[in-house]
Amino acid sequence: MPTLGELIAPRRMGRDFRWLLASSWTSNVGDGIALAAAPLLIASLTSSPILVASGAVLQFLP
């Protein structure tokens, strides 16, 4: 029976692909944490909903 890792990224895909997949997942998790934490930080520093909303919107700008 194959392991979970082999089901997600089979060995035939190669070691480099597994590293790319792992780094992509790590980056996506980090981005998600940042998108959730920044508005919470702003909300803890100010009581203005406009500043919290603008801080959340500014995260999506390039």
Q: What is the pLDDT of residues 27-37, one digit of tens each?
A: 999 999 999 99
CB 38 within 8 A of CB 56: yes
Instruction: Parse the chain into domains and list their residue ranges.
Output: 4-58
The mean of the pLDDT values for the chain is: 89
Tokens at residue 2, please? 């194959």
User: How many whole angstroms separate alpha carbon 36 and alpha carbon 9?
Assistant: 29
**Is the predicted pLDDT of residue 60 greater than 90, yes or no?**
no
CB 39 within 8 A of CB 60: no
Confidence of residue 6 (pLDDT cuts 50, 70, 90): confident
**Is the predicted pLDDT of residue 57 greater than 80, yes or no?**
yes
Closest CA relative to residue 42, chosen from 28, 33, 54: 54
User: How many whole angstroms separate alpha carbon 12 and alpha carbon 52?
Assistant: 47
